[in-house]
Amino acid sequence: MGADNPATETPHSEPAEAVLAAHDTSPEGLSPEEARRRLAEHGENEVAEADERTPLSIFLAQFDSVLIWVLLAAAALSVWAGHAVDAVLIAVIVLANGVFGFVQDYRAEQSLEALRELTAPTATVRRGEEPVETDATELVPGDVLELGSGDVVPADARLVTETDLEVDEAALTGESVPVSKGPEPVPADAPVAEHGSMVYKGTNVTRGNAVAVVTATGMDTEVGAIARELAATDETRTPLQGELDQLGRRLGLGVVVLAALVIPLLLLRGTAPVEAGLTAVSLAVAAVPEGLPAVVTLTLALGVRVMADENALVRRLPAVEALGSVDVICTDKTGTLTEGQMAVSRVWVADAVHDLGGSRADGGTPDGAGTEGAADGSARTVPEGEADADRIDRLLRAGALCNDATLEDGDPTERALVAAADDRGIDVDALREENPRTDEVPFSSETKWMGTVHDDVGYVKGAPEVVLGKCSEVLTADGPEPLTDEVTERVRERVGTFADDALRVLAVAYAEDGDVEGELVFLGLVGMIDPPREEVAEALAATERAGIAVKMVTGDNVRTAAAVAGELGMGQKVMEGREVEEASDEELAEAVESVDVFARTSPEHKVRILRALQDNGHVVAMTGDGVNDAPALKNADIGVAMGVRGTDVAKQASDVVLLDDNYATIERAVERGRAIFDNVWKFVAYLLSANVAEVAIVFLASLFGYLVLPAVQLLWINLLTDGLPALALGADPQSGDVMERPPRDPDSGIIGGQMLGFIGGAGTVSVAVMLGLMFYALGGAAAITPYAMTMVFTGFVVIEFAKLYVIRWFRETPTLSNRWLALAVGSSALLQLAVLYTPLSTYFGTVPLGLADWGVLGAVVALALPGYVVVAAAIKRYLPADTAETDLPPQGRPDPDQ
């Protein structure tokens, strides 16, 4: 079993006998003693379990943020300065933020021990020439397996012999239908999806039986390779996480710079060291938006609950906001864009094609028309006459009788035939009861046809070329007629046309005398496809309007992928996995901008495509449901797994799970993500404009010798403004144009040009008005007075409430659309009154205000409000929004004018 032996390195390309020899085994299998020796050498046949996150690690992860560290540093400064109350308040805020985040993450983490569950619990293996049932974890390379219909393949294995074997590999390769397998070698460079001589761990046998020699177990299997890649992938951070960390670093640096400037300056002016230190602490508290992490977390949590109601389960909280930045969606085909199950699309009865529409009950095109083949091979539209209807019904009845499936169970192709008959109004159960099967010829991969006998009538279905070769007549509108060379050629042309449209084609025939081995009468052709979901085309159009490009990345073949893309209105520029593999990084980076469909892709190809897009500056959401999608899902900016069809592996690797497998849910999730970002933008702008104003007021007032807002008052202002009102912004309804804008530019950061403009402009208005109020209230006093402090303290709270509504207007939110905001402002106002008129005033150094004072504060609001509006209007007019500029073309939808 040398490392350079092709029979062990590429067993799919070597004869079965060579693979058996390379693994020092025979068709009779290993002896029990040799199996035990190899088990000790190779280890158990299981995929290594992903590192499990403990509740403690989930909780501690909530504090892995620079902004949180800055807050804790501010708390430590407060303790040093003797302001224990401030420190306790900051600690409570930080702890509450941690608890909120922990609850959400822990709920979403209820995992999904994915890859281990793919292991079949038992396997039938030949040991000592006798087939025995053993624990699948005890399989070793060289073991000889016996596989049958319904089995889960327990390890990667090379086929030795098989009978009618078909395997469902959708979870591994993305192939939409079960694939036929055989022991014949395939080229060494063939992609996994074309390894017809191999069966792979975790796939399902849907038909037939086989004997195979195990070539890889555990982490050496294809599934194991995926597990290794997942383990080596670092957790992707969302744009918001990175931006909050960047904000924390800037604030931390700003606090240090402020302290370094202010303390020496105050000491030079003769300020006492203790008072200079208290001023520095006040500046630190003013600079840090204590409530920001908690409000962000709660807003995202609120979005999570809403999205769950809309069938999108969020596994990582920051992923909610990151959806709003997505400008490319890479989507799987099978089960995501399509229904994930075969359906009869078209039938041919001499000489007309009739569109059954995948699941149309009327059995025709929308107007009941078909297309008729003329002598010259062209087609013309004809109404579905009575003769055609009878022949279509007969064709579908034959397909339902020559069939082992039901509507609920069986081979996907046969189930599609049963469903087509049922849609046509044929009672399949009654049909089978009235026409009991008296004999049959099972399908085999060698003959490629199946026959059943029902009393004196026989029916055959199978590969068109094979069935056509068994026929001497064809059923026409006038009854059976000789199958001439001309008609045979027309049938072959029609088979080619169906195949070009990515249809899987079966031919159906009958024998009046019941002899399915003799000469038959050709009934017609049945074309089947995994049809696109009805709602997907509109969802694709909506994402395109939102400036998001969609690219199909599938393991399916080129013809099928391109046909589905065309039917959905996507572009049809295709690149195969083999081309992806051969392309350099530079070539692939250029190709991904224009290619619409990537076909026959492996897990490694998907990750390369994803990284090429990311390296080009795109924020990418990857959707998928199979094991093969997991590495790309984990590497994507947003991994979106299917909840119904999706494997546990895919779900564990994802950020979002679609509970209904509906592509339209992705569009709603993006819409929700954008709306949540709008709300995050509003309260970040609100909080930071307040904090900048607080810092400037304290700093400028200290230059005049006034400590106007001590730390406890600043913290209270932050709690009132960062608390209930900011949280209520998280419940703001979305604006009507949220899906008409381009995606936001993640490189601009949450604090982009418009926000900086608002923070600077609104902060300047607040500082000017508050300093004017301070000097008015001081009345020429040499030192700060409790009255002046109270006026500035209360005045700042009041103008912040007014600024809330200007920010909402700036983001085009209807003024009276959020009753929670009105309630939050009212509650915060009552809390401020409590600080003024109850014994709490002792702790805050405030005095009661009279009616005249409230009149002055009303005048202050009347001055500040127009200033905020002018700032907001100027920014809207002169500063562009922070949206992504993308060179990606639209989805290739045809121009209706062309």
Which of the residues are catalytic? 332
- 434 class by beta-carbon count within 10 Å (0-12 exposed, 13-18 middle, 19+ buried): exposed
Instruction: State the distance between the two ends of the chain, measured CA to CA, in whole angstroms.
Output: 62
- Tell me which long-range contacts 668-671 makes (C-beta under 8 A, separation of at least 24): 668/307, 668/310, 668/312, 669/307, 669/310, 669/312, 669/323, 669/640, 670/323, 670/324, 670/326, 670/543, 670/546, 670/548, 670/621, 670/739, 671/546, 671/734, 671/738, 671/739
What kind and span of H or E run contains 666?
helix 663-703
The whole-angstrom separation of Cα 89 and Cα 694 is 18
In 3D, which of 859, 872, 857 has the Cα closest to residue 803? 872
- Strands 369-373, 379-383: pairing is antiparallel
3-class SS string, 861-878: HHHHHHHHHHHHHHHHHH
- Strands 198-199, 144-148: pairing is unpaired
The whole-angstrom separation of Cα 594 and Cα 523 is 44
What kind and span of H or E run contains 449?
strand 449-454
* Tokens, residue 655: 């950020």
What is the maximum span of the chain, computed from C-alpha positions, in angstroms? 118
The whole-angstrom separation of Cα 627 and Cα 610 is 17
In 3D, which of 305, 258, 298, 302 has the Cα closest to residue 280? 258
- Strands 379-383, 504-511: pairing is unpaired
Q: What's the distance, CA 596 to chain centroid?
A: 18
Backbone angles phi, psi at 599, to 5 degrees: -115, 160
* Tokens, residue 815: 């003024």
The identity of residue 145, as a single letter, is L
- Strands 549-553, 328-331: pairing is parallel
Q: What dihedral do alpha carbons 675, 676, 678, 681 form, nearest 10°?
A: 180
The answer to whether 250 and 74 are in contact (CB under 8 A) is: no
The identity of residue 164, as a single letter, is D
Q: What is the DSSP string of 81-114?
A: TT-HHHHHHHHHHHHHHHHHHHHHHHHHT----H
User: Could you give the C-alpha distances from 761 to 35, 531, 749, 752, 870, in angstroms and in order?
Assistant: 77, 55, 19, 14, 9
Q: What's the distance, CA 26 to chain centroid?
A: 46
The answer to whether 280 and 715 are in contact (CB under 8 A) is: no
Q: In 10 A of CB 567, how many CB atoms?
A: 17
Contacts of 752 (CB under 8 A, 6+ apart): 745, 882
3-class SS string, 668-715: HHHHHHHHHHHHHHHHHHHHHHHHHHHHHHHHHHHHCCCCCCCHHHHH
